[in-house]
Amino acid sequence: MKIKNICCIGAGFVGGPTMAVIALKCPYLKVTVVDINEEKISAWNGELSKLPVFEPGLPEIISEVRNVNLFFSTDVNKAIEDSEMIFMAVNTPTKTSGTGKGYAADLQFVEKCAEQIANVSKSNKIIVEKSTLPVRTAERIKEILESNKKSDIQFEVISNPEFLAEGTAINDLFKSDRVLIGGEKTQKGEEAVNELVGIYENWIPIEKIYTTNVWSSELSKLVSNAMLAQRISSINSISALCEKTGADIDEVSKAVGLDSRIGPKFLRASIGFGGSCFKKDILNLVYIANFYGLKEVADYWESVVKINNYQTDRFFKNIINSFDLNVTSKVITILGWSFKKDTNDSRESASIYLTEKLISKGFTIKVYDPMVNGNRIKEDIERLLIDKGKLEEQTAHVLTRLKICDELYESVVDSNAIAICTEWDEFKNINWNEVKTKMDENFLVFDGRNVINKENLNSLGFKSYVIGQS
């Protein structure tokens, strides 16, 4: 099969940037990104400054290849019909009901996607799993394809998980540590794998393209995310100990990271990890381990999530304990809503949980983030409240205590405390003298990302708390 046309179903963080880079590096390919969300596709086709995914370097690539060999469309059926290779990059959230509730991945979008491909296809297709999926999902996809196909056509399903970090996705795509491709150990399966290898070979050295069986590829993605999250939870647990003993978490992290067997990455203490993958993938791993009767394995990985929740809760309690019981007139500014800097993704951000907890205690919350808009912030809170079973009127009451600000110094006016929840570079260069003139009494600063100079702030009359410092 000669690949000339590819499409990607799903125009989110994975699908958009990945297809943009493939289009750039493979000008002979026609690349189409499709999604049923008309607003999202319109944004991809709109102003470069307003792309639905904020990622450094992405607008420049889009400007070069859009409407040349990269196209964004809502016509899913046509894209499927025209393509020889189809990437599936749809959402796989954690199940909220049924078997595996709270742990297992919800595959309804993947399954609907497979059904649509089978119903539309009139020629052989290679299906590429790009979403993060549980082990043996490829088997389920193949079953759906085979049972719904309309003619004697062949489908090959291969796994190609993404290893992108938000904020550095373009660099991760250009200079991948590895590209992982899993396929069936059959002639047709190996041919499908080789077709995808041929695409990546246009810019990735062959020695960095690693091929496995499908099941190893699917599991490797879950394990990679779980182990990265484990490192964060490990150093966060030590930050609590540092605060009690007088040790400095930054110094401990650096000392430990100098060990070549460990290395420095993912050893920075914080309010807790967020994003669409870490928590979801760990819980999926927990579910799989329990499914196969490996309780001790499941308990071990679930503890990574528990420590993360503990870290956010610890930060919340430090704020609460700094005020007396009468907080109804108190205002706290949250600086940062995205789960990390250089992205507009706020999924599982600690800011969401912190804000809801503080409002429930009676505080008014003002929020500033340079990239996450106000509508998204309100939607995040509403979604959390719905998950907690809150009624519409209760949600409306909570939102009256949530104020969205468009500018940093505006957000601190009349505030009693500031909580830094995202490590945006802007927050490392705050004029604290100006901030103090705008704040109300207390002058409290809670740093959940270790971006402030504690001694400097204290000398200016602030009372500051930094994670991992006594």
The SS3 of residue 332 is strand
pLDDT tens by residue, 170-199: 999 999 999 999 999 999 999 999 999 999
Q: What is the pLDDT of residue 425?
A: 96
The whole-angstrom separation of Cα 372 and Cα 346 is 8
Mean pLDDT of 361-377: 96
236 inside domain? no
Q: How many domains does the chain have?
A: 2
Q: Residue 163 pLDDT > 80, yes or no? A: yes
Q: What is the pLDDT of residue 136?
A: 80
What tokens were used for 376? 């998204």
The whole-angstrom separation of Cα 87 and Cα 95 is 23
Confidence class for position 8, pLDDT limits 50, 70, 90: very high
Mean pLDDT of 349-357: 96
The whole-angstrom separation of Cα 439 and Cα 454 is 18
What tokens were used for 441? 């009494």
Contact, 183 vs 211, CB < 8 A? yes
Q: Residue 1 pLDDT > 80, yes or no? A: no
The whole-angstrom separation of Cα 277 and Cα 58 is 21
The whole-angstrom separation of Cα 315 and Cα 326 is 20
Contact, 349 vs 337, CB < 8 A? yes
Q: Which residues pair with 403 in a beta bridge?
A: 366
Last residue of a domain, one of 202, 218, 234: 218
Q: Which residues pair with 354 in a beta bridge?
A: none
Examine the domain organization and report whether 214 and 356 are in the same domain: no
Examine the domain organization and report whether 201 and 328 are in the same domain: no
Q: Is the dihedral of CA 280, 283, 287, 293 positive or negative?
A: positive
Examine the domain organization and report whether 448 and 347 are in the same domain: yes
Q: What distances in angstroms separate CA 355 from CA 361, 380, 424, one per listed residue?
A: 10, 10, 18
CATH number for the domain harbouring residue 150: 3.40.50.720
Q: What is the pLDDT of residue 132?
A: 79
Q: What is the pLDDT of residue 38?
A: 97
Examine the domain organization and report whether 29 and 143 are in the same domain: yes
| Orientation angle between helical segments 214-245 and 137-148, nearest 10 degrees | 140
46 inside domain? yes
Q: What is the pLDDT of residue 397?
A: 87
Contact, 41 vs 10, CB < 8 A? no
Q: What is the pLDDT of residue 242?
A: 96
Mean pLDDT of 289-301: 96
Exactly one of 26, 277, 405, 421 is catalytic; which is it? Answer: 277
Q: What is the pLDDT of residue 328?
A: 79
pLDDT tens by residue, 25-50: 999 999 999 999 999 999 999 999 99
Mean pLDDT of 443-450: 96
Of the candidates 12, 20, 8, the one whose C-alpha atom is nearest the C-alpha of residue 62 is 20
Q: Report the chain's mean pLDDT, rounded to a whole number.
A: 94
Q: What angle do CA 377, 382, 386 make, to 5 degrees?
A: 150
Mean pLDDT of 8-19: 96
Confidence class for position 394, pLDDT limits 50, 70, 90: confident
Q: What is the pLDDT of residue 126?
A: 97
For the chain, the straight-line distance linking the first and the last C-alpha, in angstroms and rounded, comes to 63
229 inside domain? no
Does residue 277 carry a catalytic annotation?
yes
Q: What is the pLDDT of residue 170?
A: 97
Q: Is the dihedral of CA 415, 419, 422, 423 positive or negative?
A: positive
Last residue of a domain, one of 218, 246, 281: 218
Examine the domain organization and report whether 415 and 311 are in the same domain: yes
pLDDT tens by residue, 92-138: 888 888 888 899 888 999 999 999 999 999 999 999 999 878 778 88
235 inside domain? no
Q: Residue 326 pLDDT > 80, yes or no? A: no
Of the candidates 337, 323, 336, the one whose C-alpha atom is nearest the C-alpha of residue 416 is 323
Mean pLDDT of 232-258: 96
What tokens were used for 385? 């409240």
297 inside domain? no
275 inside domain? no
The whole-angstrom separation of Cα 459 and Cα 450 is 17
Examine the domain organization and report whether 180 and 329 are in the same domain: no
Examine the domain organization and report whether 29 and 172 are in the same domain: yes
268 inside domain? no
Q: How many CA atoms lie within 13 A of 277 on its CB side?
A: 21
255 inside domain? no
The whole-angstrom separation of Cα 271 and Cα 467 is 7
Last residue of a domain, one of 163, 185, 218: 218
Helix (H) or strand (E) holding 31: strand 30-34
Confidence class for position 297, pLDDT limits 50, 70, 90: very high
Domain with 198 in it: 5-218
Written as one string, the DSSP assignment of 159-170 is E------TTSHH
The whole-angstrom separation of Cα 133 and Cα 105 is 7
Examine the domain organization and report whether 354 and 461 are in the same domain: yes
Mean pLDDT of 44-68: 97
Q: Residue 325 pLDDT > 80, yes or no? A: no
Helix (H) or strand (E) holding 108: helix 108-120
pTM, full prediction: 0.90
Q: What distances in angstroms separate CA 205 from CA 18, 160, 178, 183, one per listed residue?
A: 17, 16, 9, 20
Q: What is the pLDDT of residue 391?
A: 83
pLDDT tens by residue, 84-96: 999 999 988 888 8
User: Percentage of residues in the chain with pLDDT exceeding 90?
Assistant: 87
Confidence class for position 265, pLDDT limits 50, 70, 90: very high
